[in-house]
Amino acid sequence: MFRTTDVILIGVMVAAAGLTFKVKYDAELKLEEIRRLQAEIQTEADTIDVLRADLSVLTQAGRLQKLVDAYNGELQLEPVEPDQVSSMNRIAETLRAVGEIAAARTQEAEAVTDGVQTGAVSE
């Protein structure tokens, strides 16, 4: 019947076939995993694109302006006036200007002072 070498060779052949099958099967599994991950990455990338677009829509100046107008009762936001803008290296100058504005406002306030006493006005 079969010689020992035949049996060994057949064994090797079967083992090799089994190994090849397993490697191939594993490779297919991995490929499937890669495809799945790639699809997931693509979905996430697409979602990021959409979310960025959404964010951009939500932060559009026009939209914010409408919201500010609609909720101005609570928010009480006003546009910045030029005299409210300054930089660090001009702080002294600005303080002086603000002082002048404040002084002017005080004068105005004094001109219309009435008899009502408030906590903020000293005797």
Encoded one letter per residue, x for contact with other proteins by CB under 8 A and - for no contact, window 60-99 reads xxx--x-------------xxxxx-xxx--x------x--
**Spatial separation of the C-alpha atoms in residues 113 and 110, rounded to whole Å:** 5
**Least separation in angstroms between CB 92 and other proteins:** 13
Is 115 an interacting residue with respect to other proteins (CB under 8 A)?
no
Q: Contact 92/78 with Cβ under 8 angstroms? A: no
The burial of 98, by beta-carbon neighbours within 10 Å (0-12 exposed, 13-18 middle, 19 or more buried), is given as middle
Is 34 an interacting residue with respect to other proteins (CB under 8 A)?
no
**Spatial separation of the C-alpha atoms in residues 105 and 98, rounded to whole Å:** 10
Which is closer to other proteins, CB of 19 or CB of 50? 50
The SS3 of residue 57 is helix
Residues near other proteins (CB under 8 A): 43, 45-47, 49-50, 52-53, 56-57, 60-62, 65, 79-83, 85-87, 90, 97
